[in-house]
Structure 1
Amino acid sequence: MNRRTLLLGASALGALAACGDSGKFVAYKGPPVTQVQVYKSKRMMYLLSGDKVLESYKIGLGGDPVGPKHFEGDGKTPEGFYYINRRNPNSAYYLSLGISYPNTQDMAFAEAQGKSPGGDIFIHGRDGKNKGKGSDWTAGCIAVKDKEIRDIYAMVRDGTPIFIFP
């Protein structure tokens, strides 16, 4: 009976260990991030607290990075003013923060063209099936390294404004 209990306990611990990456979630105790700025042409993203840059990151973009996203499947990263509106701890790309694309203007433009604006735009890591090969490989998202998305995920709260510039 004791051997059976020991085996069951060891199995349970093994299953728990396989459930997650213990280093996936980090704590952040610094100044609040009050906005995120993305500069597509420079392939850079900045986390700011007020007017002070807290962190900067090299980024990958959609497979067709020039110009704003207008339609589902166009491979472009949006441009404009949005918010961080959700988080996915189980993302196929390690961790991800959702961007509130499409906004009302994006929806109106696409609708006027008889098309869908698309959606599911995130800041995310590179983990996953293709490991983020190349510089601009996403379907319109903003990609950073996995170790960077851990910090970004901890620092940026839902509701934080994000400005995406050409």
Structure 2
Amino acid sequence: MSFSRTLLLLGPLVALFGACMAPIERGEAPLNRPEKADFVLIDKSARTLTLFSGGTAFRRISGLQFGDSPLGHKAFEGDERTPEGRYVLDFRNPSSAYHLSIHISYPNAQDRAFAAKQGRSPGGAIFIHGQPNGLPEGQRMQGDWTDGCISVSNAEIEELWNLINDGTPIEIRQ
């Protein structure tokens, strides 16, 4: 087969491949987007949640809302802080007081031991969740308002609900 005939046959394939590799614009989902995350990273100081698959970030949500006292690691029940460290997203609650919620496995053994040495409870019931049920569609609470949970918009929690399996590790950093 001649070189020019080969180019004629391969031309449409090259054009198709090039179109698939074109930059993503207008918020379109990438064609190679993973079906599920295998790791979640929360950066409290940047107020971002990043989903990873195979070590590659594929989705970032910004504008996270935390507890009323967002600086520092949660140590005790009622301190209104968001925990820091490595945990697991271990179960989900479709019937929560918020628009869907995914539980973070706080407190771990270290958290419980620290609180016990102080004669206090470490608290618990820490979730990534949407906005309070009954809040008008598309509205968000202002500022940091949770008791230590991580809040996102209702549309974002729906997306996370579909992209995260129970058992997915999460790291929360200051």
Provide TM-score, normalisation by structure 2: 0.76
Written as runs of structure 1 = structure 2, the 5 A alignment for 1:6-155 is: 30-58=34-62, 59-128=64-133, 132-155=140-163
Secondary structure of the residue that 2:167 maps to in structure 1?
A: coil
Q: How big is the alpha-carbon RMSD for the aligned residues of Structure 1 and Structure 2?
A: 1.5
Match of 1:21 in 2: none
Residue 34 of structure 2 contacts residue 53 of structure 2 at CA under 8 Å; is this kept in 1? no
Structure 2: tracts of 5 or more residues without a match: 1-32
Q: Where in structure 1 do 4 or more consecutive aligned residues deviate above 3 Å? A: 129-132
Aligned length: 138
Q: For the residues of structure 1 that align with 2:94 and 2:141, how far apart are their CA atoms?
A: 22
Distance in 2 (alpha carbons) for counterparts of 1:76 and 1:163: 15
Letter aligned with residue 34 of structure 2: G
Q: Which runs of 5+ in 1 are unaligned?
A: 1-28
- Specify the structure having the higher radius of gyration (Cα): 2
| Structure 1 residue 132, shift from structure 2 partner | 4.7
State the distance in 2 between where 1:81 and 1:30 align: 23
Provide the rounded CA distance (Å) in 1 between the counterparts of 2:161 and 2:68: 23
Q: What's the % identity of the aligned pairs?
A: 46
Residue of structure 2 aligned with 1:156, choices 152, 159, 164: 164
- Asked if the contact 1:127/1:146 (under 8 Å) is kept, the reply is no
CA contact 1:61–1:136 (8 Å) conserved in 2: yes
- Matching residue's letter, 2:167: G
Amino acid at match of 1:73: G
TM-score by length of 1: 0.79
